[in-house]
């Protein structure tokens, strides 16, 4: 029983030493890294202001990702409609798909740009 307890205590101390060594090593490795950029809004007004700036930047990034996803969905649908139009000679459906897709992408981009000033308030 004492042997198991001695091994457990030794293991705990070794884990503590390794944890402290790891902290020191992470500090040493972090010395050459560049500093993090300030957010586009709210920098210098305290922690909450900086955090709100980073959340704003994240929301803008999510909006851009949604625009890219919308573009890929429209492109995929247009390619599928083009393939169907070549097989069945239904070019009218292809034209409607492309026009609605372009309008959809324009609407998503417009909504994303309109949302940016609202988020900054």
pLDDT tens, 54-63? 888 888 889 8
Measured between alpha carbons, how far is 44 from 68 in angstroms, rounded to an integer? 32
What pLDDT is attached to residue 79? Answer: 92
CA 102 to mean position of chain CA atoms: 25
In sequence order, which residues have a C-beta less than 8 Å from that of residue 90 and are 6 or more positions away?
A: 84
Measured between alpha carbons, how far is 84 from 96 in angstroms, rounded to an integer? 13
Q: Which residues of the chain, if any, have pLDDT below 70?
A: 1-11, 14, 17-30, 42-44, 121
In sequence order, which residues have a C-beta less than 8 Å from that of residue 85 and are 6 or more positions away?
A: 91, 93, 94
Q: In the chain, where are the structural domains located?
A: 1-30, 42-121
User: pTM of the full predicted structure?
Assistant: 0.60
């Amino acid at each position: 029983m004492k042997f198991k307890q001695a091994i457990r205590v030794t293991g705990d101390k070794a884990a503590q030493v390794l944890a402290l060594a790891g902290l020191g090593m992470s500090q040493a490795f972090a010395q050459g890294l560049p500093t993090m950029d300030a957010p586009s809004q709210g920098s210098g007004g305290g922690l909450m202001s900086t955090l709100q700036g980073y959340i704003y930047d994240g929301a803008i990034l999510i909006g851009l990702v949604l625009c890219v996803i919308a573009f890929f969905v429209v492109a995929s649908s247009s390619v599928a409609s083009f393939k169907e139009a070549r097989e069945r000679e239904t070019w009218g459906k292809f034209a409607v798909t492309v026009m609605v897709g372009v309008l959809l992408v324009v609407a998503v981009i417009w909504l994303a740009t309109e949302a940016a000033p609202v988020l900054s308030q």
